[in-house]
Every structure is written in structure tokens, then in C-alpha cells.
Structure 1
């Protein structure tokens, strides 16, 4: 049985790599014409369950109600002193920054802070790994939203060789301990991972390269990531295996449709937190087709 299982896993991995190579073979990021075959496959890539994107009118109507609820939530925690931390992780171009921008659009920036750190300085490299993130944790009544977080070590640093194997192993052991300390101290911790399919990632990279207003979003690391999709998948699955805990669980949001992803990130927080004036009918429940945890969401499809 063990040999059979191993063979099946190996076959799946080979099939994924073959598909990855096939997509890249028809893709040139510098060519302004995006391949039709990849465009046609983009929305459904990675097993995305919806055939069409959410219509703009539906998105706007739902977003308004959710943003009103977010304003209520912010007002409530200012009174109770509760602290909220939301981490947004995911593949390059998954939409982390835009999810956060819609989240905070109508919140008071004095108590809802976006944290998007650059690479560590020489001084920070000599500190405890988590130290520079601690400085950005919220005070009573505040919330912090991290556009990437300490999980850089389990993702880009791991794949691109910016950390040693020992540093990576130490991180996977210590991250649950660190997060346990935060939660036991009263912080409400939400860990979101935005997942997109291979073809969708190529489409978004291409858009960034050729849209003059988005070119700042694409970097040399992004270009290198195009040929490392499966490496990032393996790193992601290892990260989930070690850091998805009862105390600090991960929530995966399938994000091929950015509108749905933005709504579900906001909805997931509002659904989980009780606050004065909460309107459960407006919030609804997270969409189980694209939001969840466990093998269905943790394994790359």
C-alpha cells in the first residue's frame, strides 16, 4: 500500500510539473499579447469552483453592507479594548494588498494600521526573527493588518534560499509558540492565505508588466517565481502542516475572482467576532466553496 501511495503522489507531482511547463511554454511576459489558451483557463485554474466572476453590482452591494459592519466593529473594539491582527499571505499576485485596501477603506487609520515591511535591515537581521513584527502589533482597541508577515520565512525565503534550512526549521517550530503567546494575551489572530491557480497567476503577472499603473507591483522575485510555482506549493503545504493549529488556524481563500476574495476576507472576520450592533443577516456566512481549511484547501490542485 505504501508503495502504491508513493507512486500516486509521484505521478501527481509529475503531472503538475508537466502542466506547469506547458503553461510556461506558451507564455512570454514581455509579449503584450496574452495567450488565449491561458486566458481561457485562468478563472478555473487550481480547481476554482465558479465559472464566472461576481458581477460588479453584486459586489458593490455586498461590500457596502460589510464595510458598514466593519465600522461598527472598529467602534466596538475601541470601547472594549480588544485587539485584532489579520495576516494576509499567499502567492505573488494573489491580491493580498487589494484585499487589505478594501478592508480598511472606511476605517479610522489611527486605529486600523496596514503593515507592509520591506526586507530586513542589517540591524533587524541581527535580532530575534519575530522582533521587528512585534513592534507593529496593535494596542488596546486597535487592529493591525499585515501585508505579508513573519511567514515570509516559510515562503519566499524558503523557496529563494534567503534563509538556511536550519533557520526555516526553527521558524516552523517557533511560529506556533509565538502565535500561542499572542492569542493567550488576548489578541484575535486571523491568518489568511490567498490561493490562485497557475494560469491566473500568469495572467496577473502579465497585466502588471503591461499596465503602467501596476508595473511597480512586479519585481525580480515575481519574475523568478513564475518558474517556481510547484516549489511554492510544496513550501505552502509544509507551512500549513506545522503552523495550522487549534490556537491559530489558517483560513484559505481561493482568490481567482478578486471580488469574491475581498468580500470573503472581510466576511470571515465579521462572522467570527461578536460586537455591539452586529447584523448577522448582512454578514451571512463565509462561502464554503472558496473559504476553509483542511486537505481540500491546503493541497494544491
Structure 2
């Protein structure tokens, strides 16, 4: 009997030690989960703070856009802003920041879909002209007639003849617009291939962004070089003194938005609301069409192909 009791004591002790060990492991796991949750909360809070600070940085310039609108309205001046660039380059987000506080009565955002059967029989520019601004109004084109210079030739949505006719006629069309008093701003948002891929992945995995992903988007990475080639031809033939292109480096979305707004404000001779604001575009973000052509041609000479 005594021997049985002696044997039971170490077994109970071992069992107690195992329970203690399991309890400690469980506490460690819970502690790790808590730390991970705290880190995630800290990261989330940090992102929210950074987002808030960036939006606050835009507000003085958004107030200037309202003052600019008032000038356009008082003078009856028409303004057209073209937002072009590759898919996921940041055009839509910039348009939302530009228009966020503007007077809704005096601006319109135009994003035209595929041409109807009737539109296919019309003069190519006709559907765009129908959307042009009246005096005192700003029209922002989320993609424009330059679809014919970029998307359509890459995907075979237009014939070679239609493409050539467009490239021959567009500069004269724009010159007439500007000559008759319309302020025309042409912005091309330039994103790198790696950054575009990241943004596409985000769209695929985020249910709030999945609607942005189209069939054209899916093929954008595969046809990267094709888009680069037509971009070069577009800049070479349509970057003119009366309607120049402005390239916005858009890997950093916030800087792209801020500098695009500065470019818009600098195109209108209105009286500044706050003259102390910095209206000078960042040369690392904003590049003239002529300079972009020089960069692309240097790449072609050095590497035998475009790398932008």
C-alpha cells in the first residue's frame, strides 16, 4: 500500500508540471496574438493619421480651386482638363480630389463608354464636342479623345487608317479650341510597371475595388511595351506649343494629386486666395511632354528600347 502511494506522487507531480507547461504555452500564444493585434492597430492608426495629414495638406489648394472656379465663372472662361495614362495610374483618385469641394453647378466629370452604333458613323470628335463646357464651366475628361491614340490601336479597336487620321487631325482640332479661348490642360499620369502590378493585385483582392478591374486591365501588363510605344508616338505628334502635355509621375498618389492640382491652378490667371502657398510643382513629379520625349529617346539610344 505504501509502495503504491510512493509511485503515485511523482506521476501527479509530472501531470501538474505538464498542465503548468500547457498553461504557460497558452498564455504565450495569447500574448503573441495580443501583440500582433496591437501592432496591427498601431499600423492602422498610423495609416489613418498619414491619410488625414495628406488630405489636410490638399485643402488649401482645394480652396484655391474654388477661387479659380469663381474667376472662370466671372469671366465666362471655358476649361477642359484631360486625364490620361495607363490603367491604375491614379487618374480617378486625382479627379476626386480636384472636384471634392468645387461648386457642382460649374464642373462636370465625363467618362464616356464604348461608342454606340450611331456614334461609330459620326465624326470622331463629335461625341466629345457634345460634352464641352459652356462659359464659366470646367469639364474633366476621365480618358478623352486620346483613347484613339492609346487604348484603341493597342487592342485593335480602330483601324490603322482611323489611327492615322486622328494623329493627323488632333493638333489642329486642339489649336482651334485654344484659339477660341478654351483653357486646355493635358495631363498624362505615368506609373511604373511594378507599381501598376501592385495596384492590380489590390483590386483583385479588395471587394471594394474589384469593380475597377476590367478585361483591358487584365491585359495591361502583358501589353506594357505596346502601350509605351503608342505613348511615345502620341507625345511626339501631339505635344504642341498650343496644347502641351504635362507628365505626372504617379507612383506616389498623394504627390501626384498635389502636383496635378498645382498645374491646374497655374494655368489660370486668377487672384490667389493665399499667395503664401507654394504653387511650384515638384520637378521630380511633374515633367513636361518635351522633357519626357527626351528621356524616352535617350532610353531608346542607350538600351535599344523604352523602359518607361
Q: C-alpha deviations, 1:96-129, integer Å up to 9, x for none?
A: 1111011001111221100000010000010000
Matched, 1:106 2:101: yes
Structure 1 spans left out of the alignment, 5+ residues: 1-54
CA apart distance, 1:272: 2.3
Contact 2:71/2:270 (<8 A) preserved: yes
- Residue of structure 1 in register with 2:221 after alignment: 226
Matched, 1:292 2:287: yes
TM-score of the two chains, using structure 1 as the length reference: 0.79
Matched, 1:91 2:99: no
Separation of aligned partners in 2, 1:181 and 1:104: 27
Task: From the CA coordinates, give the structure whose radius of gyration is larger.
Answer: 2
Aligned length: 247
Matches within 5 A, 1:62-77: 62-77=57-72
Q: Which stretch of structure 1 is more off in the superposition, 145-154 or 67-76?
A: 67-76
Per chain length, whose mean CA-contact separation is higher, i.e. which structure has more relative contact order (CA < 8 Å, sep 6+)?
Answer: 1
Separation of aligned partners in 2, 1:79 and 1:233: 41
Structure 2 spans left out of the alignment, 5+ residues: 1-49, 297-306
Matched, 1:145 2:121: no
Contact 2:239/2:290 (<8 A) preserved: no
Q: Which stretch of structure 1 is more off in the superposition, 176-185 or 58-67?
A: 58-67
TM-score of the two chains, using structure 2 as the length reference: 0.78
Contact 2:80/2:138 (<8 A) preserved: yes
Q: C-alpha deviations, 1:135-193, integer Å up to 9, x for none?
A: 11110000000000000001110100111111111111111011011101100000000
Matched, 1:210 2:205: yes
- Residue of structure 2 in register with 1:257 after alignment: 252
Contact 1:172/1:242 (<8 A) preserved: yes
Matched, 1:128 2:98: no
Which of the two has greater helix per residue? Answer: 2
Contact 1:270/1:283 (<8 A) preserved: no
